[in-house]
Structure 1
Amino acid sequence: MNSYLIITGLVFFSAVFGYINVRFLKLPLTIGLMLITILYTLGVLGLSYFDDTLLKAEVALIQQIDFEKVLMDYMLSFLLFAGALHANFQELKKQRWPIIVFATRGVLVSTFFIGTATYYLFQLLQIEISYINCLLFGAIISPTDPIAVLGILKKAKAPKNLETKIVGESLFNDGVGVVVFLTLIQISDTGGNSINAVGILELFGQEVFGGILLGVLIGWITLWLLKSIDDFSIEVILTLAAVMVGTVIAQKLHLSAPLAMVAAGLFVGNDRARDTAMSETTELYVDKFWELVDVLLNAILFVLIGMELLALTYNANYILAGLLAIPIILLCRYASLLLPVKLFEKKLKFTPYTSLIMTWGGLRGGISIALALSLSDEMNREMLLVMTYIVVVFSILVQGLTIEKVIKKLLPKTV
């Protein structure tokens, strides 16, 4: 099956399922597409008991797609640039310190809490697994997914300063989560013999700070080029080239491409910068182009997530562990937010119930599934993949559908 046929199939499913959602369900895009795709895939599995032709065709399609590579190496840069381009830079700047703490300390603490709690859960279920592999699960599931968060929060009507914290955290914590995950992978592979604090700090500095610096440089160059001409079509192409070239450079230099694209998007999207670099016509076309890219890639991504049902190993113990992990993960996230919220809430006038709303609004998505798919068999890949999938589905369908109601219940005067 060639690449064009695979892309055609994904766009076709995205278009059909998107139409059904807009025409009948009227749910947020990410939720609607994921729900419809899961129902469709379950229907295909049910039909396979009578005729497995359609199942074989869908399995063939999924087997041709390297989900981890497609998302982490290609789609994520475009999605994060588009999300950062439309983020409120001034609001993010005001909330920069809590966002930094949420995205760094929060991920580390959450990884440790979830890893430790699930280790004891496995002991109760009499499932053999090493502690380091439990920490890997913590690293996989701790980062909130910017793609899911950005898509759903647009309709949740959260107070602006609270929305900024959730969006800002989700834009940056995936890069930190990936570094933590890679570090734990190295520890697991070597037994910790070749890993030390200096090596971890070097990896963190190279991936995270190097990625951000590269993104700022790319953003500055892009703005300089935009200022020097006034042609909306070429200026749109320049922003596209910035993402593509920037991603390639980041990958070659072993820097965090996602963080580079977040930094570049914030730099180009900054209201003060774009007012001097773009005409009103250019600004309109750039925004609309990246909105379309965002919608298209989101549609394809969540169709892919729904179809990943076919990649799971259906084991009762794995499913039970995944279901029991949901409340553990929510409690661990809440606990990891308590200290930084207490630290900043008076100075920055936090919205009441910030920890609770950020816990429920911290959605997991494709990044977690991509990381789980990259595990080796020795790292309990099949079990952790099933657990991750269950948590992601719950996060998108249950938390995503109810976050607006939670906000209305807790903050009735602000909605």
Structure 2
Amino acid sequence: MAVVTANAIYARFNLVPVAFLQIAAGLVLSFVPLYKHFELEPELFLFGIIAVLMFNDGQNTNIRKLMHQMGTTLSMSVVLAIITILIVGTVTHRLIPQFSLALALALGAIITPTDAVAVSSITSKVMVPKEAMSTLENESLFNDASGIVAFNLAIATLVTGKFSIASGVESFLYVFVGGIILGLVLGYVIVAVRIMLINMRVDTPSVIVPYTLMTPFAVYLVAEAIGVSGILAVVATGLIHGLQQNKLRLTTSRLQIVMSTTWSIVASILNGIVFVLLGLSLPGVIRNLHERDTGSVAILVGLAALLYLVMTLLRFLWTQFDFAEIRAWTLHDKIMNSAVMAFSGVHGTITLAMAFSLPLTLGGQAFTYRNDIIFVAAVVILISLIVPTLVLPFMLPKKVSAVGESELSDAKADMVRDAVQMIQSQFGASPAGGEVIRIIESQRAVEGRPNKAVLSALYDKTFEIETSTAEQMLHNGEISSREFAVYSKFIRQTVVQHAGGLRKHLLYVLKFQIITRLSMSSKARKRRKMIRQNSVRNRDRTREEMISRNRQLWKNIRKMETKPYNRVIVFLTSNMTDENEVEVGLVRRAYDQRHRRLSGTRDLQDQQNELLVEAFQHEHNFVQSQVASNKYSRELGNELYQQISTDQLVSFQTIED
């Protein structure tokens, strides 16, 4: 709920990065009694959140770019990570001797890993150089594992008091390389099974989506069971999924839509949960520090700021002196890339998870400095989020879309209007035409609510048209008085149902009764009286005769309904303008639904599909002509083409379902 609330606020007020709103939501939760003594379970955090996020990052990684930048990626995620851990550990140990070297190195391992997702959150409004952003994303795939392996070695040294360089290197290689190899093997097996399911036509969303969602959990558990890096294993498995995307796409479009949407939502929610947990945990950590009465909060804040400065400087120098090469054409570009890499070293998920992974006890006694380390890590995360949020907008140009929202909205409205006019002119009187118009109009997001006064006036007019048409048919002998009475109920029902408000309902009922009374001639009233008398005299008619007569009555009503319906549709079509198109669409939808119900023409799928194909092709031709005449830019045209393709895919999938 906290994540959803923060995301909802961000959707309306996006001046502050969503990560800060999620942290704030966590702070609010910390005041709820249920969460006052909240303790984060690190193993569950790594298994249930981090593994899923890392798998998703892996499957969305461009494997060709990764291989092309593999040298730079390993330099940043392994070599720089290890050097940073050693320097941060040494600085911490020298400044605070109470922290043993092993504990200081553990702190270095905790705050070294970066979070590309957090970077994306705070750079959503600026143009980050592509090469730098790609390097940041690739770095975050592997430096998490570097940090975790180094952290485990430091904790093992802290607990046992022993450290061997040879065993440390051996353990690092086994955990790091072993995790990658296991992930690759399991990835190929899992992808092979999925391809087999596709070939067997067992590729429904209820099978493939859960199968894919379970993948990171299964891989992580297997990897941890044999002692290799579960995080690297799920990353490698994700990379295999990304590498095999061409084969995995050979399935239904419906499954592709469901799969991409599911992963997008899952990743968004899990990332949000991480920052909510940070906000939720921070007050408890501060409270524990105060209870210990060390007066060290200010010192720890200063230490966190200093360590962040050291890490930022290291990242700048590492890229500036080409230990990690990022393509740049000029010296200015090179300096800019180095600065972006330095300030974009944002910390988040893994840092928080490792901080809470610190043991509660050491040697059978409470771990005294556990809260200190967690607090420093939390402050580093906050600083790493705040600094680039303030600095990067001054360094980088503001992100400007090639196509403005208003421009795209106006072009989409013109495109839809042109298609609707074509359908109305050629097929407007048919139920299928009305349904296709409704589908086409849904392409355009209409802001605001319908004008109630305009809507009421339209229903007034359609009520008059239908009533006068039915009355004329009655006088011409085209329908009987009984048929007129039954059909009039549907006229009243349509208007009363959609008019809105009790007062309106009563007015329409009263108006219907008055018009019905006045419209029926004395001859018609006599005819109704005779029908009633006949019905009394003939009570003894068999049930079969009554059923037959009712069937004939409904058959006649279905036939006579077409004429007033067509007149209403002609009126709505001819009187639709840019100002009232929303209200006209609502009125037409009400009449189309009633027409399908009365006429028995509910199964119009084939005709509707044909009209949809024609409508979408008309939209495509419209955009093509506008681009050819230079009224629309190519970028705008591409956006509209993509919109048409997506809407066509979704529309036909919806009809098929």
Residues 11-410 of structure 1: matches in 2 within 5 Å? 12-25=1-14, 27-38=16-27, 40=28, 44=31, 54=32, 56-60=33-37, 62-63=38-39, 65-66=40-41, 68-122=42-96, 128-153=98-123, 155-192=125-162, 195-228=163-196, 229=198, 230=201, 231-233=203-205, 234-270=207-243, 273-279=244-250, 281=253, 282-312=255-285, 313-315=288-290, 316-335=295-314, 338-339=317-318, 342-343=321-322, 348-349=327-328, 351-353=333-335, 354-376=337-359, 377-378=366-367, 380-396=369-385, 398-402=386-390, 404-408=392-396
Cα deviation digits, residues 17-59 of structure 1 (max 9, x gap): 3322323345443232123433x258x3xxxxxxxxx4x3321
Q: Give the Cα–Cα distance (whole angstroms) in 2 for the partners of residues 258 and 226 of structure 1.
A: 22
Q: Give the Cα–Cα distance (whole angstroms) in 2 for the partners of residues 168 and 197 of structure 1.
A: 28
Q: Give the Cα–Cα distance (whole angstroms) in 2 for the partners of residues 403 and 221 of structure 1.
A: 45
Does the 8 A contact of 2:77 with 2:142 survive in 1? yes
Structure 2 residues not aligned, in runs of 5+:
360-365, 401-657
| Superposition CA RMSD, Å | 2.8
Amino acid across the alignment from 2:334: P
- Provide the secondary structure at the position in 1 that maps to 2:321: helix
Instruction: Call closer, same or farther: CA 1:346–1:293 in 2, change over 3 Å.
Output: closer
Cα deviation digits, residues 303-346 of structure 1 (max 9, x gap): 11110023213444233322343233332343256346533566
Structure 1 match to 2:496: none
Larger Cα Rg: Structure 1 or Structure 2? 2
Amino acid across the alignment from 2:382: V
Shift of 1:388: 1.2
Shift of 1:153: 4.8
Q: Give the Cα–Cα distance (whole angstroms) in 1 for the partners of residues 217 and 17 of structure 2.
A: 28
Q: Give the Cα–Cα distance (whole angstroms) in 2 for the partners of residues 82 and 347 of structure 1.
A: 25
The range that moved more, 256-265 or 138-147, is 138-147
Does the 8 A contact of 1:21 with 1:33 survive in 2? no
- Provide the secondary structure at the position in 2 that maps to 1:352: helix
The range that moved more, 298-307 or 310-319, is 310-319
Does the 8 A contact of 1:140 with 1:371 survive in 2? yes
Shift of 1:144: 1.2
Higher relative contact order (CA 8 A, sep 6+): 1
Shift of 1:181: 0.8
TM-score (norm 2): 0.53
Q: Report how many residues are paired.
A: 377
Instruction: Call closer, same or farther: CA 1:339–1:367 in 2, change over 3 Å.
Output: closer
Q: Give the Cα–Cα distance (whole angstroms) in 2 for the partners of residues 358 and 343 of structure 1.
A: 12
- Report % sequence identity: 24
Does the 8 A contact of 1:110 with 1:332 survive in 2? yes
Shift of 1:100: 0.6
Structure 1 residues not aligned, in runs of 5+:
1-11, 45-53
Cα deviation digits, residues 158-177 of structure 1 (max 9, x gap): 12211111111111101111
Shift of 1:266: 1.7
Instruction: Call closer, same or farther: CA 1:365–1:96 in 2, change over 3 Å.
Output: same
Amino acid across the alignment from 2:174: Q
Q: Give the Cα–Cα distance (whole angstroms) in 1 for the partners of residues 125 and 175 of structure 2.
A: 33
Q: Give the Cα–Cα distance (whole angstroms) in 2 for the partners of residues 19 and 411 of structure 1.
A: 22
Shift of 1:109: 0.6
Instruction: Call closer, same or farther: CA 1:117–1:35 in 2, change over 3 Å.
Output: same
Q: Runs of 4 or more off by more than 6 Å in structure 1?
A: 409-412
Q: Give the Cα–Cα distance (whole angstroms) in 2 for the partners of residues 283 and 97 of structure 1.
A: 33
Q: Give the Cα–Cα distance (whole angstroms) in 2 for the partners of residues 296 and 248 of structure 1.
A: 22
The range that moved more, 142-151 or 79-88, is 142-151
Does the 8 A contact of 1:323 with 1:390 survive in 2? no
Instruction: Call closer, same or farther: CA 1:319–1:241 in 2, change over 3 Å.
Output: same
Amino acid across the alignment from 2:260: D
Instruction: Call closer, same or farther: CA 1:232–1:275 in 2, change over 3 Å.
Output: farther
- Provide the secondary structure at the position in 1 that maps to 2:221: helix
- Provide the secondary structure at the position in 2 that maps to 1:388: helix
Instruction: Call closer, same or farther: CA 1:36–1:156 in 2, change over 3 Å.
Output: farther
Does the 8 A contact of 1:99 with 1:165 survive in 2? yes
Amino acid across the alignment from 1:249: V
Amino acid across the alignment from 1:334: L
Does the 8 A contact of 1:215 with 1:264 survive in 2? yes
Cα deviation digits, residues 155-206 of structure 1 (max 9, x gap): 54312211111111111101111100111111122222xx323321232122
- Provide the secondary structure at the position in 2 that maps to 1:343: coil
Shift of 1:101: 1.2
Instruction: Call closer, same or farther: CA 1:146–1:207 in 2, change over 3 Å.
Output: farther
Instruction: Call closer, same or farther: CA 1:224–1:157 in 2, change over 3 Å.
Output: farther
Q: Give the Cα–Cα distance (whole angstroms) in 2 for the partners of residues 305 and 288 of structure 1.
A: 26
